[in-house]
């Protein structure tokens, strides 16, 4: 442990949330070490998260503001330059044999959210960190254990060239650990042995599968780029989010049992798309391509997590999906995780002192973490609940304003 006021802050997980947290800590002058299970995302040989090429995300003001407040010259411009504005939803359907699109703007004042490539955003954050002299990266390091009373952690060095990838164990000391290691967080697992943590986890009965819509033959977007496109199916949906290369990253959200039915009868897949998502095939994705993508791309689960507290003493805090993984239907999982970072460091700043005495620094941080848990737990739980609610909105209620009005009247 540092004997002077210089703090050794260890961040576990170099996803978007861990990377932003490392930036905030480094800007405060801490000695920052980032430990990441996988290799460097910027290295093409690294297997991406979820084994998919990349997820396209909706980036909103919540996330943008958190990057703005990092006060890193050039960061926000570099991120926003790689985004596409989405001014609203475009709902696709078929009426009396004719395809139609219905535009629903997000905001009467013209405000919008942006489509961003999660991998690209993550790389921009890593590039910023690389420039900071007080930041060290430890890729291919998996957290395997932690003692939050003695502030010791153990990592297994991973060797990607070995079949089981297992390597030697390293032991490190730290002053402060930030766990941003995602929904299946090891930091959270070890934190539970120290804090009296309440924990709730749910897998919803829906899986997701990614699809890719290529540009048109003349190199343009096949459908208007400035929208989040939705094909509502009632109990399921297909969506498409624009990418800078004029493709769309699309996602099929479907109940587990319906996936199983299609898996058992692949010849029905194209027909299923034609009758439920009119205009997708063959217009946007050829029938062969659609089938191939359905069969080759993984069908992945969706988890929702609520827990409290998020911290223990002055030693550790969990952020992002590690603290509150949520279903993706409100487009706020990563945004809320980035906001965690801003809120956390606001409290750390508020309770920090100019003292170089480690005990005083620890006491200030303990107070900050306590306040953080107190404020952030109900806020994160609320976004989590809204995310569940918005699945009904996206897959069904968007279809008909009349339906929505009737439902609202019934509920009154
Ligand atoms: P992660 O991105 O999961 O990163 C965690 C990191 O920790 C990983 O790099 C992992 O390798 C590393 N790690 C794990 N275990 C260890 C260990 N033991 N030791 C060391 N490192 C470890 N959010 C939005 O805001 N908008 C959207 O539109 C949106 N759409 C989504 C669509 C889908 C289909 C899905 C699945 C999610 C979506 N999300 C969206 C949610 C978003 O992807 C997550 O909230 C976000 O990626 C969480 O970031 P994170 O940094 O907390 O965790």
- Hey, which CATH number is domain 8-87+113-201+304-397, 3.50.50.60, 3.40.50.300, 3.30.930.10, 3.30.70.580? 3.50.50.60
Q: Taking the CA atoms of the chain, what radius of gyration do you get in angstroms? A: 23
* DSSP single-letter state for residue 88: E
Domain boundaries along the sequence of the chain: 8-87+113-201+304-397, 202-301
Atom 35 of ligand 1, residue of closest alpha carbon: 328
| pLDDT by position in tens, the chain (length 412) | 444 568 999 999 999 999 999 999 999 999 999 999 999 988 877 765 555 556 889 999 999 999 999 999 999 999 999 999 999 999 999 988 899 999 999 999 999 999 999 999 999 999 999 999 999 999 999 999 999 999 999 999 998 878 777 889 999 999 999 999 999 999 999 999 999 999 999 999 999 999 999 999 999 999 999 999 999 999 999 999 999 999 999 999 999 999 999 999 999 999 999 999 999 999 999 999 999 999 999 999 999 999 999 999 999 999 999 999 999 999 999 999 999 999 999 999 999 988 889 999 999 999 999 999 999 999 999 999 999 998 888 888 887 765 555 555 666 6
Distance, in Å, from the CA atom of 50 to the CA atom of 64, rounded to the nearest integer, reads 24
Contacts of 323 (CB under 8 A, 6+ apart): 185, 188, 305, 307, 310, 340, 376, 380
Instruction: Among 23, 57, 137, name the best residue to mutate to test ligand 1's pocket (greatest count of ligand atoms within 8 A of Cβ).
Output: 57
Instruction: Among 10, 11, 15, name the best residue to mutate to test ligand 1's pocket (greatest count of ligand atoms within 8 A of Cβ).
Output: 15
Q: 250 phi and psi, to 5 degrees?
A: -115, 155
Comparing CA positions, the residue from 334, 329, 302 lying closest to residue 59 is: 334
First-residue to last-residue Cα distance in the chain: 59
Atom of ligand 1 nearest to the CA of 19: 51
Residue 348 Cα to ligand 1 midpoint, Å, equals 24
Structure token pair of residue 180? 């941003």
Number of H helices, E strands in the chain: 12, 19
Distance, in Å, from the CA atom of 293 to the CA atom of 25, rounded to the nearest integer, reads 41
Distance, in Å, from the CA atom of 72 to the CA atom of 95, rounded to the nearest integer, reads 50
Q: 206 phi and psi, to 5 degrees?
A: -135, 135
Record the pTM: 0.94
Distance, in Å, from the CA atom of 370 to the CA atom of 365, rounded to the nearest integer, reads 9
* Dihedral angle over CA of 79, 85, 87, 91, nearest 10: -110
Residue 412 Cα to ligand 1 midpoint, Å, equals 38
CA 376 from chain center: how many Å? 17
Kindly give the pairing relationship between strand 135-139 and strand 316-318: unpaired
Q: Which ipTM score applies to this complex?
A: 0.99
Instruction: Among 333, 339, 386, name the best residue to mutate to test ligand 1's pocket (greatest count of ligand atoms within 8 A of Cβ).
Output: 333
Pocket of ligand 1 (CB under 6 A): 12-18, 35-38, 49, 55, 57-58, 118, 142-143, 180-182, 186, 208, 251, 320-321, 328, 331-335, 337
Angle between helices 333-350 and 16-28 (to 10 degrees): 20
């Amino acid at each position: 442990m540092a004997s002077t006021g210089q703090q050794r802050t260890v961040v576990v997980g170099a996803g978007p949330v861990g990377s932003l947290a490392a930036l905030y800590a480094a800007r405060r002058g801490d000695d920052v070490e980032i430990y990441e299970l996988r290799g460097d995302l910027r290295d093409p040989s690294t297997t991406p998260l979820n084994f998919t090429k990349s997820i396209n995300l909706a980036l909103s003001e919540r996330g943008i503001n958190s990057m703005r407040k990092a006060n890193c010259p050039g960061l926000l411009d570099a991120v926003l330059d790689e985004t596409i504005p989405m001014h609203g939803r475009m709902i696709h359907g078929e009426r009396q044999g004719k395809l139609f699109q219905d535009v629903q703007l997000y905001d009467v004042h013209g405000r919008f959210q942006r489509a961003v490539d999660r991998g690209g955003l993550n790389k921009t954050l890593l590039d910023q960190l690389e420039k900071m002299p007080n930041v060290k990266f430890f890729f291919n390091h998996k957290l395997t254990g932690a003692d939050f009373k003695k502030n010791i952690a153990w990592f297994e060095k991973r060797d990607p060239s070995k079949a089981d990838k297992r390597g030697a164990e390293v032991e490190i000391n730290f002053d402060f650990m930030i766990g941003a290691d995602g929904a299946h967080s090891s930091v959270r697992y070890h934190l539970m042995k120290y804090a009296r943590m309440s924990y709730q986890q749910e897998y919803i009965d829906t899986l997701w599968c990614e699809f890719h819509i290529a540009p048109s033959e003349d190199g343009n977007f096949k459908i208007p780029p400035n929208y989040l496109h939705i094909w509502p199916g009632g109990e399921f949906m297909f969506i498409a989010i624009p990418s800078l290369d004029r493709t769309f990253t699309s996602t099929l959200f479907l109940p587990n049992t319906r996936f199983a039915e299609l898996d058992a009868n692949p010849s029905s897949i194209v027909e299923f798309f034609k009758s439920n998502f009119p205009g997708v095939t063959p217009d946007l994705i050829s029938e062969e391509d659609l089938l191939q993508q359905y069969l080759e791309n993984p069908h992945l689960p969706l988890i929702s997590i609520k827990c409290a507290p998020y911290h223990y003493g002055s030693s550790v805090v969990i952020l992002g999906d590690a603290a509150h993984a949520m279903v993706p239907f409100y487009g706020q999982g990563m945004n809320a995780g980035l906001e965690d970072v801003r809120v956390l460091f606001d409290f750390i700043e508020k309770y920090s002192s100019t003292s170089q005495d480690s005990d005083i620094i620890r006491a200030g941080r303990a107070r900050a973490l306590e306040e953080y848990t107190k404020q952030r737990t109900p806020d994160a739980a609320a976004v989590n609940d809204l995310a569940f609610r918005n699945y009904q909105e996206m897959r069904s209620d968007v279809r008909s304003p009349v339906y929505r009005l009737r439902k609202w009247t019934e509920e009154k």
